[in-house]
Amino acid sequence: MKELSRFGVSIEKGLLEQFDVLLKDRNYTNRSEALRDLIRKELIQKQWEEGKEIVGAITFVYDHHRRDMIGKITEIQHNFHDLIISAMHVHLDHNNCVEIIAVKGSSSKVVELSNMLRAIKGVKHCTLSMSSTGKEII
């Protein structure tokens, strides 16, 4: 088991009450785990800002009937092949497709790939969800 440190925190009463309400909403059973997660969230956010290696998912919806659509999407993904670890394509209905691409690499390259896919004419919506490789996070 990892060594634990204990520390005291001074906090305004009202802020702590708001924190406790948030914890209950998020299903935390104690403040310690919630605080650890807040710290991890900030550390991971810092990794994103510094262009460190991250893992993430790019999800985008498009109408596959548009001219050159598939060609453009394929070409961009080949240009970033070193970032893409897995891809899933789902035919949503007669017109619409969704692709979910799992990525691993520098956050700045992942953002660049996501922005290029989003900017393709015919892509209706594109989201990037970034997480951590977990390596530097305890």
Size of the site for Ni ion (CB under 5 A): 2
Q: Cβ closer to Ni ion: 21 or 88?
A: 88
Give 16's contacts (C-beta < 8 A, 6+ positions apart). Answer: none
Residue choice 24, 41, 91, 124 for contact with Ni ion (CB under 5 A)? 91
Least Å distance, CB 86 to Ni ion, is 17
Residue choice 97, 101, 123, 128 for contact with Ni ion (CB under 5 A)? 97
Least Å distance, CB 26 to Ni ion, is 36
Where do the H-state alpha helices sit in 26-68? 31-49
Q: Cβ closer to Ni ion: 31 or 91?
A: 91
> Coil, strand or helix: which one is 22?
helix
Q: Cβ closer to Ni ion: 32 or 95?
A: 95
- Asked if 27 and 79 touch (Cβ cutoff 8 Å), the reply is no
Give 131's contacts (C-beta < 8 A, 6+ positions apart). Answer: 44, 54, 55, 56
Binding residues vs Ni ion (CB under 5 A): 91, 97
